[in-house]
Structure 1
């Protein structure tokens, strides 16, 4: 499994295991969660993607209950903060909102460290752009948690280039990644400037929902699904592996975040790295995704 350096101190596995559904599983026991992590590690997938809000603010604790010191040292933990929804510890919130204040960012880090029973977060992301963000206050808070050693690196999620530049202007610590939605069905970032912005600055992107939340396999996408299946059969993998390989083939060094609770599917996440995809195959799939040939 390839690894991607985000800075001089932090590398992530090219494929990332997404834990947003961890709390939805029938079995959330420490033993079963450890089995999922071990299935990832067997493929060289060492990066686990979390967020404070996942599982109604419970997924981090489910992970923490499963971690042993030895297992913690074998993985990188990504987590996120700033979404406040009326659930879990924020059930008294009157409305879903974003909070990028210093108090919330620092408090969220402390919550995450406690729930995951660890002394460090490898990568902390601001989960959503906050239209009420004081970039200097938020930037100083991110600098603070890095300087304290509680967070190794910081980034963002779902930010547009101007959101990134605003926050970065209030910081001394470099932002290292932006986790955005990208897939064959959500391919706008390849042409709307999002990918180009980060590719120019050599900042690897993370891709959430790389299978389009399952919509990739809906009836209306039958032609694309058929082509994926043909390529998958040629290369001895499943359709999902080909769809993810489409992202891996891009020179922007995209890190797809794959989420499933099924152990058999977890064991096949790494197949995406085995797929060979030349330029014509990439554009063939892109053409099917567009529904027409490129101009």
Structure 2
């Protein structure tokens, strides 16, 4: 698998990362098999959050790798904090306690990356900066990032932080493209021209922030997968056409579509199916032409101005 650099960090990771939200549903043996196969495929960044399975996903992950203690030096652990039951919390106290909980459940001394999970409108950036500084100085977190934040929210944080934010995790799939739509429909008077996130795609490119694409197979607000879904015949026909042409699967093409973008976006895939992970990994070797990329974009019902 090809590598990419996460933001301005020293981390060189696989183009595709594994989201571990569903790992709590696996046995220790099943989880171990998934992790081992992911590493064999070149997937070495594992994305967690303190809320995934109420912390159980982190526990299962740690149990799955505990028999091979050298594996920690081969992987990159990323976790997120800030979502609580019924509210968001970027307070210094919560950030610090959340990280301690993740470190305990993951049975590790440090996280490679910590992300703030969804914006907290009551955020006091000075508190976030204090928490980040303490975590960095103690060696408990190497790098920091955000999730689902727009440019001005990031700029507000940056005013107080001493470290660069290296990641912004955003929902993106062939069937969920608002950050792309607005840029293609500048100065137009229709729905797709609405800039819903203040040009976050271009902002992240300008500031060397890696966009991690979550739910790359979902449509709407994680309403379900679009691949093989009879409600979306046009996009599936085009996916299958290109898959047959290139000797891969529709799943591979859907990820290749994201990887083709010059922003060097890193998909975060949540599959716990080993065969599907193999199909996903093949996207790293597939190069879509500009024409094929736009054909797929238009197959979802998008039009160009």
Taking structure 1 as the reference length, what is the TM-score of the superposition? 0.92
Give the aligned partner of residue 231 of structure 1: 242
1:292: Cα distance to partner? 4.5
Distance 1:8 1:202, change over 3 A: closer
Cα contact 1:10–1:153 (8 A) shared by 2: no
Structure 1, residues 206-258: CA drift from partner, whole Å, max 9, x if none?
A: 00001114432322211011100000111111111101111100011100001
Q: Which runs of 5+ in 2 are unaligned?
A: 183-194
Asked if 1:287 is matched to 2:301, the reply is no
Matches within 5 A, 1:79-228: 79-85=79-85, 96-190=86-180, 191=182, 192=195, 193-212=199-218, 213=222, 214-217=224-227, 218-228=229-239
Q: Which is further off, 133-142 or 245-254?
A: 133-142
Contact 1:19 1:259 in 2 (8 A): yes
C-alpha contact 1:22 1:261 (8 A) present in aligned 2: yes
| Correspondence 1:46-61 to 2 at 5 A | 46-61=44-59
TM-align CA RMSD: 1.3
CA contact (8 A) 2:24 2:57 kept: yes
Change (3 A) 1:49 1:292: closer
Report if aligned partners of 1:202, 1:252 keep a CA contact under 8 Å in 2.
no
- TM superposition shift of 1:20: 0.8
Aligned residues of 2:166 and 2:208 also touching (Cα < 8 A)? no
Aligned length: 281
Match of residue 71 from structure 2: 71
* Map of 1:16 onto structure 2: 17
Moved over 4 A (4+): none
Kept after mapping to 2: 8 A contact 1:177/1:206: yes
SS of 1:152 mapped into structure 2:
strand
TM-score by length of 2: 0.89
Q: Is the 8 A contact 1:80 1:124 kept in 2?
A: yes
In 1: Cα distance, 2:234 partner to 2:47 partner: 32
Distance 1:263 1:245 in 2: 18
